[in-house]
Amino acid sequence: MQFINVAAVASALFSTVALAAPAAELGWKPQTATVQLANEQSGASANVVIPIDGISRPVQELWSHTAISAEHHGLVFASSAQLTTFQQSTVCTITEDSRHVDAKLDAEKTWVSFGNAPIELCAALITCHCEGEAKQHSH
């Protein structure tokens, strides 16, 4: 009887571990889009790969170590955004409430201007999702 109980526990444990394995270990990767922020005044631009998963991510965190932030001591300033690599159903939004930024990029509108001069995007969020899927909150 002791052997059967140990075998049952071991079997249950291994099946639980197998089910809990991260998706990446099973070969699944989320789709991604590439978004470029540019500063037309300085000529600086930088591309960042964003998962298409509906999760809002801080622009400052994603672009802080790129050419787009180098001339502003690590702060992200941009005058435009462009969706450069994407699926037809990809939608990416860049939002920043205090500067009234609400830019939407998709297969029909792959470029957006934030105005004549670069604006600070340190508090902005970027979210990419597939059209028709619900958005999630940031983590």
What DSSP assignment string belongs to 25-91?
GGT----EEEEEEEETTTTEEEEEEEESSS--EEHHHHHTTSHHHHTTTT--EESEEEEEE--TTEE
Q: Record the tokens describing residue 73, joined without a space.
A: 């001591």
Q: What is the mean pLDDT of residues 87-99?
A: 95
The residues with which 93 forms a beta bridge, in sequence order, are 104, 127
Does residue 4 carry a pLDDT above 80?
no
Q: Under 8 Å CB-to-CB from 60, ≥6 apart: which residues?
A: 75, 76, 121, 122, 123, 124
How does the average pLDDT of the chain come out, rounded? 83
Pairwise pLDDT comparison (12 vs 26), residue with the higher score = 26
pLDDT tens digits, 47-63: 999 999 999 999 999 99
State the pLDDT at residue 21. Answer: 43
Of the candidates 48, 44, 24, which has an alpha carbon nearest to the alpha carbon of residue 34?
Answer: 48
Cα–Cα distance, 78 to 41 (Å, whole number): 9
Does residue 17 carry a pLDDT above 60?
no
Query: What pTM was estimated for this model as a whole?
Result: 0.75
